[in-house]
Structure 1
Amino acid sequence: MATGGGAHWNPQSQRWEWADQPPSPPPTGGGGGGGRGGGPDPVRNGKVLLGVALGAAVVGGCAMAGWLLLGDEEPKAPAAAPSASGTPDPSTGTEPNPEPTAASASASPSAAGAYTVVRDDAGFSVAIPTGWARSYDENGSGSFYRRPGDRSALVQIFRVTEPDGVGACELLRVSSQTLGANPGYREVSVEAVPGSSCELVYEYDSKESQGRRRGIERITVAPDGRRWALLAAGPAADGAAVRANLTAVVESFRPD
């Protein structure tokens, strides 16, 4: 994985910055940066949506591919290639994409520790917690990252292929309804965020996370107008780390 376009952590602005953008001014007094709550994680029932551990769900005729985090079933490795809608396509082969190439690490003083910018063959670069790697034994579509040997937390990224006329918050509300099939599911919030984006925060009971799991899923719009789903999930008791991971993903994500 090559370093995604000169990404580096700016300790003064507490942000990821890139070679093609001017440096951010240092933070002013009292404001704190990154952490707003955390988000829940999708259910592993074979159908998942945009959530943190995802699969694919079809609700009201809208294919919410990859949005729901898979529940706690054993993974069906490797996941089938996604169809145009993002839903796993059983007619395609299941051979995983080659591993992304190595990337350089940049330390950030976040709750989750240092991050490494990686280049993914799905067409983007992003910062993930150092030591995490691409995971192929997943039921959902898109790219998953986890700490090897540990399924308690994850990062998932995939393209949103639903029509642009369906708003980001509307898609996430449908996702939340589908996630409601998870035991103990609770929607924490669905809120619009700057940049025509929206974010869903939720929790549910998870064997993988050994208790409650928190997921945060965000739909974001790339400069070319394409929409992507960025998701982070992990134990609800460590919600600050889930939020820190999602913040690192959002601020470092660069599609090709």
Structure 2
Amino acid sequence: MRVFDADRQEWAGDERETRFNGDQQMQAVEQGQMLRRAAVVLAVVGLCFLIWALGWKGEPQPVKEPAAAQPTATESWDGDGESSAEPSAESPAATSAATPPPGYEVVQDSEGFRSAVPSGWERTSHPSQYGMAVVEYRSSDGSRRLQVFAVMETSPYASLQAAQLESRKLNGYEVITLEESSGAARKAATHEYRADEVAGESQSFTRHVIDHRFEAEDGQRYAVVAYGSDADGSDDEQELLDTALRWFCPPRKQCAAPTG
């Protein structure tokens, strides 16, 4: 029987056929041995990989401790003049404790209110017909004064209108402004004037007065009045008033220290 020799591209005779069949059998045996060796090698490699993978997955991972939050604190002033720190998420710059301007000190008055006045000023008071006593802080030379009292009338502006009727009787009275504050969260009004005489003052010189009346956090109405000499301008009285108002807290209320 003749067979086609693919390697030689020819038909082989019986002798060549026998030799060809033998060659094919030897090649088949060798290919089978190679396949078995390859299978063994792959099995060993696969087993090694499986052992490594199981060992890697079982290895414990390091535990990271959560970062501890560092709360900042804001300082507030209570009705007794004490300060307390409370946790806050704000930045330290925003919650730093406020301090009054140089030369001023925060006072917790015995009438219950808090304010800020020039350091070393003398305090006096006298009874009032309504609410707390009229409190005065005065400079050592008597030329400057800060007055704090409760207001009787139903609104700050109505109270100033009534007060102006009395102020107009003073010698040398000259009104600078009498108006309600616009855009304020609470009702307020201001009466600014000059006068050659002022009730409660014995020294004779022209005074500059800023009388500010307002509704405070407790819903009640109060007055803070700054007195000084008109000869040195109005800036010092305005600063005296602004500082006292900025730190003002009515009796029996807890107010945060001013910011900014």
Tell me the TM-score range normalised by the shorter chain.
0.5 to 0.7
1:237 offset after TM fit, Å? 2.0
Alpha-carbon RMSD across the aligned residues, in angstroms, is 3.4
Equivalent residue for 1:252? 247
Alpha-carbon separation, structure 2, partners of 1:4 and 1:138: 30
Equivalent residue for 2:224? 230
Which amino acid is the alignment partner of residue 158 of structure 2?
E
Give 1:1-256 correspondences, 5 Å limit: 5=77, 106=99, 108=101, 114-136=103-125, 142-148=134-140, 150-162=141-153, 164=154, 167-193=155-181, 194=184, 195-206=186-197, 208=202, 210-238=204-232, 239-255=234-250, 256=252
Q: Indicate how the Cα distance of structure 1 residues 211 and 221 shifts in structure 2: closer, same or farther if over 3 A, else same.
A: same
Q: Indicate how the Cα distance of structure 1 residues 209 and 251 shifts in structure 2: closer, same or farther if over 3 A, else same.
A: farther
1:180 offset after TM fit, Å? 1.3
Structure with max Cα Rg: 2
Residues 183-241 of structure 1, C-alpha deviations (whole Å, 9 max, x = no match): 10111111112221001101100375542101111111111201111111110123211
Alpha-carbon separation, structure 1, partners of 2:76 and 2:120: 17
Alpha-carbon separation, structure 1, partners of 2:76 and 2:240: 17
Which amino acid is the alignment partner of residue 246 of structure 1?
L
Q: Indicate how the Cα distance of structure 1 residues 114 and 234 shifts in structure 2: closer, same or farther if over 3 A, else same.
A: same
Q: Indicate how the Cα distance of structure 1 residues 139 and 169 shifts in structure 2: closer, same or farther if over 3 A, else same.
A: closer
Q: Indicate how the Cα distance of structure 1 residues 137 and 225 shifts in structure 2: closer, same or farther if over 3 A, else same.
A: closer
- Could you tell me whether the CA contact under 8 Å between 1:160 and 1:229 is conserved in 2? yes
Which amino acid is the alignment partner of residue 253 of structure 1?
F
Which amino acid is the alignment partner of residue 189 of structure 1?
T
Q: Whose helix fraction is larger, Structure 1's or Structure 2's?
A: 2
Q: Indicate how the Cα distance of structure 1 residues 107 and 229 shifts in structure 2: closer, same or farther if over 3 A, else same.
A: closer
Which amino acid is the alignment partner of residue 122 of structure 1?
E
Give TM-score, length-normalised by structure 1.
Answer: 0.53
Greater RCO, 1 or 2 (C-alpha within 8 Å, sep 6+)? 1
Structure 2, gaps ≥5 residues long:
1-74, 79-83, 253-260
Q: Indicate how the Cα distance of structure 1 residues 185 and 138 shifts in structure 2: closer, same or farther if over 3 A, else same.
A: farther
Q: Which runs of 4+ in 1 moved over 6 A?
A: 18-23, 137-140
Structure 1, gaps ≥5 residues long:
7-17, 27-104
Q: Indicate how the Cα distance of structure 1 residues 254 and 182 shifts in structure 2: closer, same or farther if over 3 A, else same.
A: same
Which amino acid is the alignment partner of residue 147 of structure 1?
S
Alpha-carbon separation, structure 1, partners of 2:174 and 2:202: 17
- Could you tell me whether the CA contact under 8 Å between 2:194 and 2:230 is conserved in 1? yes
Equivalent residue for 1:79? none
Which amino acid is the alignment partner of residue 214 of structure 1?
H
Which amino acid is the alignment partner of residue 105 of structure 2?
T
Q: Indicate how the Cα distance of structure 1 residues 181 and 224 shifts in structure 2: closer, same or farther if over 3 A, else same.
A: same
- Could you tell me whether the CA contact under 8 Å between 1:210 and 1:235 is conserved in 2? no
- Could you tell me whether the CA contact under 8 Å between 2:151 and 2:159 is conserved in 1? no
| Sequence identity percentage | 26
Which amino acid is the alignment partner of residue 237 of structure 1?
A
